[in-house]
Amino acid sequence: MKMTFRWFGSKDDTVTLDQIRQIPGITGVVGMLTDIPAGEVWSEERIRELVVEVNSYGLELEVIESVNVHEDIKLGLSTRDKYIENYKKTLKNLSKYGIKVVCYNFMPVFDWTRTDLAKELEDGSTVLSYEQKLIEEMDPDKLVEDIQGGSKGLSLPGWEPERLKKLKELFQLYRDVDEDQLFENLRYFLERIIPTAEECDIKMAIHPDDPPWTIFGLPRIVTNKENLGRILKLVDSPYNGLTLCSGCLGANPNNDIADMIRTFGDRIHFAHVRNIKIHPNGDFDESSHLSSDGSLDIFEIMKAYHDIGFKGYIRPDHGRMIWGEDARPGYGLYDRALGIAYLNGLWEAIDKMKRGV
Ligand code: DNO
C-alpha cells in the first residue's frame, strides 16, 4: 500500500507540505483544485503547477480527490453530455502529469453531511458528528448555512455556495429521480468515461455516500455491499473501481467493512480508513483511529487489506481537532498524523506476524 495524506493546496489548507513530508511512512498527497467548479475542465497548466509544487517536497501526487461530477450528470439532464466531455478532457490532462486514481462521488446535491462540525468530547477534543433527528427536523437551507458557517473561511468541496444557492430548484429536479434512475444515470456516465480512463490509465474510484442512507428524501445508492457490487458491474472494467471509506459505510452497522474489502479486492483503488463511534440510537461521532475509541475494528480492516495484498493508495481519514489546532473540520494535521502512525503500526505488525518474523 501507499500511505498518503489529503491536502487542499497551499492557498486553501492550514497544513503545509513541509509538515506532511515529516510524517513517517508518507509517500504522497491526495490533491485537488478546489476552486474549479464541477463540470469545468482542469487545465494542464493548473495541474502541472500543483504536481510540480507537491513533487518539490519529495512527495508524489498520484491521486485526485475529487474531480466532482456535475449535478446535470447525476440528474440525467440532456445537458449532461457537454459535462461528460469536459470530464474526459480533465482525465486526459491529469494523465499527462502522472495521476493514477481519481476519486469522485455520485451523491445528489450534498456531499458528506454532519450536524455538528465541532462537537466536544470528554477529553476536550472536537469532532464531526451526526444526529438523525436534527436532520429530520432541519430545513436543507439551514444545513447548508451551518456547514458553510463552520468552514473557517476555507473551501469545503461538495458544499460550494454557488451551486447550493439553487437548492429548491435542485430538490424539485430530483423528484423524478429514484434509486434505479440514479443507477441508470451513473451507468450512462461510466459507459462514457471508463474507455477514456482505460486509455489514460487512470482508475476511477467512486466514494460511498456519507452517511450511507437517504437524507431529505434524496436518493442515495453508494451505500452497501449489494449496491457496490451492482456499480462495479455497470461497466465491468478494473478502471471502474471503489474508494472504500470505512467511516462512511461503517456508519451503518450492517455494513461489514472487512468483508467488503475481501469481496471487492483489487477493484478497491483507494482506501479511506477512519473510525466512528455509533450511539445506540444510530447517531454517530467521528473518533480517533484507535479501534477501542470507536465502533469499527481497525485491526480487522487493516488485516483484510493485508490479506488481499492491497497495493493501492490509502489515507487516514478525518481526524479530531486536538492540541489547540485550528484547521478545516476533520482535516487537521495532528490527529491524522497519529492515524497514520497507528495504521502503519498495525500494518507492520500484521505483516511480520504473518511472515513469522
Ligand atoms: C469528506 C470527504 C468527501 C469526499 C468526496 C469524494 O471529508 O470524505 O468530501 O472527498 O465525497 O468525492
Q: What is the pLDDT of residues 139-174, one digit of tens each?
A: 888 888 888 888 888 878 888 887 788 888 899 999
What's the rounded mean pLDDT across residues 74-98? 98
- The residue nearest atom 1 of ligand 1, judged by CA position, is 112
Q: Distance between CA atoms of 208 and 113, rounded to whole angstroms?
A: 12
Residue 188 alpha carbon to ligand 1 centre in Å = 22
Tell me which residue has its CA closest to atom 2 in ligand 1.
112
Distance 114 CA to ligand 1 centre (A): 12
Task: Indicate if ligand 1 lies below 6 Å from the C-beta of 104.
Answer: yes
Q: Is 148 exposed, middle or buried (0-12, 13-18, 19+ CB in 10 A)?
A: middle
Angle at 289 between CA 27 and CA 101, to 5 degrees: 40
Positions annotated as catalytic residues are 207, 245, 272, 317-318, 331
Label the pairing between strands 28-31 and 60-65. parallel
pLDDT of 132 reads 95
Q: Read out DSSP for 116-131?
A: EEEEEPTTS-EEEEE-
Contact 208 CB / ligand 1 (< 6 Å): no
Task: Please report the DSSP string for 243-311 in residue order.
Answer: EEEHHHHTTSTT--HHHHHHHHGGGEEEEEE--EEE-TTS-EEE--S-GGGSSS-HHHHHHHHHHTT--
For residue 84, give the nearest of 99, 101, 67, 64 by alpha carbon.
67
Residue 103 in contact with ligand 1 by CB distance below 6 A: yes
pLDDT in tens, 306-318: 999 999 999 999 9
Q: Indicate if the alpha-carbon torsion angle 175, 176, 182, 185 is positive or negative.
A: negative
- Per-residue pLDDT, 287: 97
The total of other beta-carbon atoms located within 10 Å of residue 324's CB is 7
pLDDT tens by residue, 226-282: 999 999 999 999 999 999 999 999 999 999 999 999 999 999 999 999 999 999 999
Centre a 10 Å sphere on the Cβ of residue 80 and count the other Cβ atoms it contains: 22
Confidence of residue 214 (pLDDT cuts 50, 70, 90): very high
Supply the pLDDT for residue 67.
Answer: 98
**282 C-alpha to ligand 1 centroid (Å):** 21
Q: What is the pTM of this model?
A: 0.96
Whether the CB-CB separation of 300 and 275 falls below 8 Å is answered with no
At 351 the pLDDT is: 98
Ligand 1 pocket check: which of 7, 65, 243 to mutate, most ligand atoms within 8 Å of Cβ? 65
Cell 494523465 locates to 95
In percent, the amount of the chain with pLDDT more than 90 equals 90
